[in-house]
Structure 1
Amino acid sequence: MTVLVRVRLAVLERTIASGQVPTAGEIAADLDLPIAMVQEAYAKLGEAHVFVCDPDDPSRLRMASPFSAVPTAFRVSARGGSYYGNCVWDALGIVSLLGGEGSVETSCPDCSKALSLRVTGGKLAESGSVVHFSVPARRWWDDIVFT
């Protein structure tokens, strides 16, 4: 298994276990690798649009898709854990990744009405909600944090 794959899997495993996206130092300790090697892996995975690195700190991630390292408007509860998604798409992806049972708490960006999305048996329960992506998919990575 390559270092990139090992680092990616370790980040996902630690995030799932703790609810927090780990630092390069934590992953370096977990994998017994030099921190510089993990930071390089973070950068390469960022270039591949797998992770989004913190622009001010190469030892931190902003996003470890589908997980957010910072609080967002997309709070996920699944498999006994609590996580943040980067967007509703990622939030539902977290529920799927963790077995297809869970919920996403968010709010309507237009009227601020609280929204609760439930997933049971891998299927989204009817909520009457509509998802709108204001940025075309082909432009998401122009500024993925804004998107």
Structure 2
Amino acid sequence: MSSTDDESWDEHVRVAVYRAFAAYGRQPTAPELADAAGGSLAVAKQALHRLADARHLVLDECEHVVLAHPFAAAPLGFSVMGGHTLWWGGCAWDSFAIPHLVPGEPEVLIATRCPACGTPHALVVGREAPPPGDQVAHFLVPVARMWDDVLRTCGHQRLFCAESCVDGWLAETGNAKGYVMDLATLWRLAKGWYAGRLEYGYRRREPAKAAEYFAGAGLRGAFWER
């Protein structure tokens, strides 16, 4: 098989993965993956590994998709309920992105707990404007290091009651402070970050374009440099 064929299967498999998560809240089944790769599950699995190497998704040791941002295959701290589908959001960023990405789901209910005090939070997040609320998001890992351990990164992009809860959690865990933003900034960050990801021809942003996007959301400084 030529490299051109590989790229074609990769894109078919990538789209199949993302559309399955968007439509059903789950990764594609083995037959669905095989269908996306011309009837061959082996070809599909090869494509999954190339996609993981290219940072389009994250696999576990059993070749299952763990993350296909903004979707997660298992609970990572956020449930995202639409009118018809329940998703696991990979993190605060990803959870806020889902209503902007999934057709027919312009508004979702995001549920989570403050990592510091355990207070439950439920936010209705839509496409038109940020949700009201005094909660803040804390991102522990800077952009340049996010893919060093992407599951740890996602597990530490959480919503807290207030910055005082962030400070208490940092003191308890011994972590250094990352970046704190309000809900409006988080919403702007999530709004267009994954635009086009369900379609053929999607390309991840190059560093300069990513920096431009972050600045447009009001996020500047060393933490956001790739």
TM-score by length of 2: 0.59
Higher strand share: 1
Q: Structure 2: how far apart are the matches of 1:83 and 1:39?
A: 23
How many matched pairs? 145
Question: Corresponding residue for 2:82?
Answer: 78
> Which residue, 136, 141, 158 being the options, matches 1:135?
141
Q: 44, 53, 58: which one pairs with 1:52?
A: 58
DSSP 3-state at the match of 1:146: helix
11-20 or 102-111: which moved more? 11-20
In structure 1, stretches of 5+ residues that fail to align are none
Task: Say if 2:21 is the partner of 1:18.
Answer: no
Which stretch shows the higher mean deviation, 78-87 or 1-10? Answer: 1-10
CA-CA distance at 1:33 after TM superposition = 2.8
Q: Secondary structure at the match of 1:4?
A: helix
* Aligned mate of 2:48, from 29, 42, 65: 42
- Which protein is bigger by CA-based radius of gyration? 2
Partners of 1:25 and 1:64 lie apart in 2 by 19
The Cα shift of 1:23 comes to 4.2
Structure 2: unaligned runs, 5 residues or longer = 1-6, 154-226
Identity %, equivalent residues: 32
Tell me by how many angstroms 1:24 deviates: 4.5
* Cα distance in 2 for residues equivalent to 1:121 and 1:91: 13
CA contact (8 A) 2:65 2:73 kept: yes
Alpha-carbon distance between aligned partners in 2 of 1:19 and 1:121, rounded to the nearest angstrom: 19
Select the structure with the greater relative contact order (CA < 8 A; seq sep ≥ 6).
Answer: 2
Moved more, 121-130 or 101-110: 121-130
Which deviates the most, 14-23 or 85-94?
Answer: 14-23
The answer on whether the counterparts of 1:23 and 1:61 sit within 8 Å (CA) in structure 2 is no
CA contact 1:91–1:104 (8 Å) conserved in 2: yes
**Cα offsets for 1:58-113 (capped at 9, x unmatched):** 2x111111110112211001242110011010111112112431121111111111
Structure 2 match to 1:93: 97
- Structure number with the higher helix fraction is 2
Q: What does the per-residue CA deviation read over 1:6-27, in whole Å, with 9 as the maximum and x for residues that have no partner?
A: 1111112222222211244431
CA RMSD of aligned residues (A): 1.8
